Amino acid sequence: MILKDRLAFVTGAGSGIGRAGALAMAREGALVVVTDRDGAAARAVAAEIAAAGGRAEAQAVDVADDAALTEAIAGTAARHGRLDILHSHAGVQVSGGLAEASVQEMDLSWRLNVRAHFVAAKAALGPMRAQRRGSIIVTASNSGVQYDRGMIAYCTTKHAAIAMVRQIAVDHARDGIRCNALCPGFVDTPFNAGFQAQMGGRAALENYVAETIPMGRWGSVDEIAEAILYLASDRSAFMTGHALVIDGAESL
């Protein structure tokens, strides 16, 4: 198992990609701390891991609460004496261009898609520095390497998240800490509500996926989970500061 005896902390793990990554890391031997704003969802995923023979803990954590997020990560590291993997996944998707998106929506996007990743990485830095190793994975998006029409808040913050990942990577490479951005394209989860609204409904979104993405299909959460395993494990030991785009060539 490629993550045997490692400790992983995951935000936004109650559903979708976060859940799939948590399940995959547990299958590969990690003890996974499953967190989500919805505590019941986090507990359900932890129970699913336990039922499959893995190890997990669950916590209700709202990443918009700086103190709660910091305490959850620091408390996990103190309780277990280590922190090997941080997957800072929770985020928000707000549709609308400059004319439509409100200042409040931009502020929310910044708080969840950039600031929360900063707070989480800062909390993980101490324990990872102490053990001279660690992998920080920040979920950005392929919207961070291209420009989606009518999605100003989402694209702006996803570009910023990738820039922050690269800065963390160069600043802390000699501490043994790697930091990479996970950049999925269209994966069929409820997170796409913003794009669906912006495109005019489910049928239009399905048509976009079929006609515009070169591979002509959605990605699956399990495909993204494989990338999470790669970034979390020593298989990517010489990779840091990278934006790993998995989008069926949509951004090309």
Q: In this structure, are residues 105 and 153 in contact, taking their beta carbons and an 8 Å threshold?
A: yes
Q: Which of 147, 154, 208, 230 is catalytic?
A: 154
φ, ψ at 65 (rounded to 5°): -100, 100
Among the residues of the chain, which ranges form H helices? Answer: 16-27, 39-51, 66-80, 103-110, 116-131, 152-172, 193-199, 202-212, 221-232
154 is catalytic: yes
What are residue 184's DSSP bridge partners?
A: 246
Q: In this structure, are residues 8 and 232 in contact, taking their beta carbons and an 8 Å threshold?
A: yes
Q: In this structure, are residues 35 and 72 in contact, taking their beta carbons and an 8 Å threshold?
A: yes
Active site residues: 154
